[in-house]
A and B are shown apart, each in its own frame.
Chain A
Amino acid sequence: MLEELHVFGVYLPAALVWAVLAGVLAHLLRRLWQRLPWSSALGHAGIWELAWFVLLWWGLTAAADSFFHYG
């Protein structure tokens, strides 16, 4: 499990880094989502955006736990 990340000499909690990354990715995904012609048919955009953010956060966490090693 990756619990912290070394960023320019500062050890940050991995959860915070993945959350920020997930937020940026979810924002980019939102733009793509809005361009889809049938996006309005898929329900409330706000709920989907929130779902994407949390799913990406969890996905990044799980991927980091599986593939990254300390050091």
Chain B
Amino acid sequence: MDKALKSWIMKIVRLLCTLLAIALLLFAVRALWIRYQVEPVTRDGKVLADIVPIAPDVAGLVTEVHVHDNQTVRQGQVLLVIDPSRYTLALQQAQATLGSERAALAEAIREDQRNRMMSNVVASEVIEQGQTKVAQLRMAVQQATAARDLAQLNLDRTQVRAPVSGEVANVTLQPGTYLTVGKPALALVDMPSLRVEGYFEETKLQRIHPGDRASVHLMGVPGDIRGHVESIASAIEDRERSGDASKPADVNPAFTWVRLAQRIPVRIAIDDVPKGIRLVPGQTATVVVHSPGQPRGLLPW
């Protein structure tokens, strides 16, 4: 009887211990799931800034480059100069044309006034022709004025200025290079727009809200950059669908059984950067969003 009782007690103990092991196992699995699958953390983040491609508005040979690579520039500072000779000549030509048109207009006005004063000896038709000539020459003067202003504008645009304050990058431009209109010559990094963007899995978005505190860690750089969630991307491209809005939807018929969560960019505004840390657009970052007081159910999914 004692032996049977002892065996029974042992079975109960074994069962309870096994149940305890299963409970501990489930607890740890749940904790790991929350830590790695639910918490809004991503290693897929980047330091970003708006880049302004600097391109000339007029074509020509570069005669002067006033900046060197990675130089800090102010808004309005001259970055490079396109050879102004052709545009100076164009301005002189436009000024001469304007002067000529003005002289012709003055002469026409005087002639018209004389004709009007001698209306008893000058035919009405001649007077009318004179008035028409004055009107035409007034328009010609306006046209010449516009041409002069355009020539002046082109001349002004030979000096390419920084549209925003920031740092120039990728400057390999040298005097003698021929630039065409609209061809980017160098890049200007708009430093005030510096930010971090974390590409979060779409499954984690429910725990991210604008205003939430965030920590950013740059790859291989000690220190914790503090920031907050500024905004969440309003849309990403639908890869399963092609065609433009004016055509019927062209949806990919292949649907994979195993698929990955898409990633949504979340914009992190930088509040505080520890001393000694330099943010370079393009750097890799890990982003942790501290979601305040998220209620957790028994099961995290």
Q: Which residues of A contact B (CB under 8 A)?
A: 1, 3-4, 6, 11, 13, 15, 41-44, 47-48, 50-51, 54-55, 57-58, 61-62, 65, 69-71
Identify 24 residue pairs between A and B in the complex whose beta-carbon atoms are under 8 Å apart, listed by A's number. A1-B39, A1-B41, A1-B215, A1-B288, A11-B219, A43-B14, A43-B16, A43-B19, A44-B14, A44-B18, A47-B18, A47-B21, A48-B21, A51-B22, A51-B24, A51-B25, A54-B28, A55-B24, A55-B25, A58-B31, A61-B35, A62-B35, A65-B35, A69-B222
Q: Which residues of B contact A (CB under 8 A)?
A: 10, 13-22, 24-25, 28-29, 31-32, 35-36, 39, 41, 43, 215, 217, 219-224, 286, 288
Given A3-B43, A41-B14, A58 and B35 touching (CB < 8 A)?
yes
- Chain B residues with CB under 8 Å of A41's CB are 10, 13-14, 17
Contact A70 B224, beta carbon cutoff 8 Å: yes
Contact A70 B21, beta carbon cutoff 8 Å: no
Contact A71 B222, beta carbon cutoff 8 Å: yes
- Chain B residues with CB under 8 Å of A65's CB are 35
Residue of B17, B21, B223 contacting most chain A CB atoms (<10 Å): B21
Contact A51 B13, beta carbon cutoff 8 Å: no
A55 to B24, CA, bound (A): 7
- Chain A residues with CB under 8 Å of B20's CB are 43
A70 to B43, CA, bound (A): 13
Q: Measured between C-beta atoms, what is the minimum distance from B76 to chain A in Å?
A: 39
- Chain A residues with CB under 8 Å of B15's CB are 43
Contact A44 B21, beta carbon cutoff 8 Å: yes
Contact A47 B28, beta carbon cutoff 8 Å: no
